[in-house]
Structure formats: C-alpha cells, structure tokens
Amino acid sequence: MAYNFKNALVRTPSKSISNAISSIGKKPNFEKVIAEHNDYKMHLEHSDINVITLDALEDYPDSVFVEDPAITFNNFCIILRPGAPSRFGEHNVFRNEAKNIFEEVFEVNNGKIEGGDILRINDRFIIGLSNRTNKEGANELEKILSHLGAKVIITDTPNGVLHFKSDCSLLDDETILQTKKMSLTGFFENQFKVINVPEGEEIVANSLRVNNYLLVPKGFEKTYELLSKSYKIILAKVDEISKVDAGLSCMSLRW
C-alpha cells in the first residue's frame, strides 16, 4: 500500500530558510522551524518509521522540502528537476546522497518536475502539471516509472495552486482528502471516495498517511472532527514552516 513505509528521509532545515520561497511574503523564525521539524521527525518515528536525517544545505533555502527533488518507488529513487530557479542544483547534491541509501537511482534529465506535484496511489502515480512541473518533465518521469512497472496519469493542477498535493492527499486505498478547488476539477470523484476539507482549512488537504496514523496540521478543528472518526490522528504543528509554503508531505521522502 502507498502509505505503508519502513523508512523516511528528512533534511535538517538550513539557517537560510528565512530566504525560502513564500507565496505570502513571510520569513520564518529558524529556531521555531527547527522545533517543528524535530516534532515532525518524532511523529514519523512514532508511526514506526526509521528516520534518516540529511545535513542542512545552506546554499538552498528550500532544501528542507526533500520530497520535491526526488520520489521513491519500492527501493528505487528517481531524481527530479525542481522547477523553481532558486532550487536549481539541489537535485545534484541529492543525487550523490541517494546513491548511498537506495538500491538504484534513476534520473529525469529534461523539463521540470517536483515531487509536490506527484501523488502515489500504490503502483499508480498522478502527476499534476503546474508552474513547477511541465509536460516534458512529466513525460520523462512516466517513461522511468513505466520501466519500473508503475502506471502514470498526467493531469492539471488547479489554477492558483502551488503543487498538486497542496490540495489533495491519500487517506487510504479508497479515499482522497481534497479542497474545493480540487473537487471542482472532478478528477477524483469517479475513482475514489472523497472527503472535502471545510472552507477556511484548505491547508489540511496536505495531510500525510503513514502506516496506521494520519498526520494532520494542528489547529483546524472542523477537519479534525471530520477525520478523527475514521483515522488515528497525529496533530503536527506547522505554523512556522508553512510561512514558506510547506506541507506535511514535502518534508520527508518515504519508502
């Protein structure tokens, strides 16, 4: 199942995170980000995952979001090509690190594509085209995944949404959590059960199912009430790190 994991890879936040990309123009406090990141690692460990921590990269303010430059499938890693100019080169650093961790490493060499635009559902990968992911990058990733035995669907990320997974997440094999913007596309309705995030709590659409637990951003009571009836919830504080467009999924690479 796409949410059963043994390992997770995270990267220590850099002090330069105050210069990370922010759609709302805010700068996070480094000490508060470290505290939230430490709690995040603790939540993963509580979910019965072995957590591997990579060193901070001061030259790349957004590098704590380790899921964007790579994805995993089984014990393989696929290096992606970040679509934000300030993240160019980040994947080159990660390539060398990944060789010491994964069974085999593949690489997308053309276009642009970020992990935040890729939703895995067992052996299927949904790639959302966005400002960070284009058709060229998506097509090349599709070739690699097909070679590894996976299926790929390429679609569009809703307008005004940073990443495809900013507005949706996998809750279980049959259920997708999504925002109203995503629901208006009708993409998931005919394939899955869907739960729509209450208005004003859209950030919770990027929750993270890990083994028997569901990590959910803290402070959104309506969604918590909705989800806690069916899932074991771990509330994760992301107040500070969300100032630089963070989601729970983007802070770890899981397999």
DSSP string for residues in the chain = -TT--SEEEEEPPPGGGGGS--TT-----HHHHHHHHHHHHHHHHHTT-EEEEEPP-TT-TTTT-TTTTEEEETTEEEE-B-SSGGGTTHHHHHHHHHTTTSSEEEE--SS-B-GGGEEEETTEEEEEE-SS--HHHHHHHHHHHHHTT-EEEEEEPPTT-SSGGGSEEEEETTEEEE-HHHHHHTTTTTTSEEEEPPTT-GGGGS-EEETTEEEEETT-HHHHHHHTTTSEEEEE--TTGGGGT--TGGG-EE-
Above pLDDT 90, what percent of the chain? 99
Q: Is the pLDDT of residue 1 over 80?
A: no
Prediction pTM value? 0.96
Domains in the chain, CATH or no CATH each: 7-254 (3.75.10.10)
Average pLDDT, the chain: 97
Tens of pLDDT, residues 187-204: 999 899 999 999 999 999
**What confidence tens digit (pLDDT) does each residue in 84-125 have?**
999 999 999 999 999 999 999 999 999 999 999 999 999 999
**Averaged pLDDT for residues 135-145:** 98
36-64 pLDDT, tens per residue? 999 999 999 999 999 999 999 999 999 99
Mean pLDDT confidence for 225-247 = 96
Taking only the tens place, the pLDDT of each residue in 160-193 is 999 999 999 999 999 999 999 999 999 999 899 9
How high is the pLDDT of residue 165?
A: 98
pLDDT of residue 177: 98
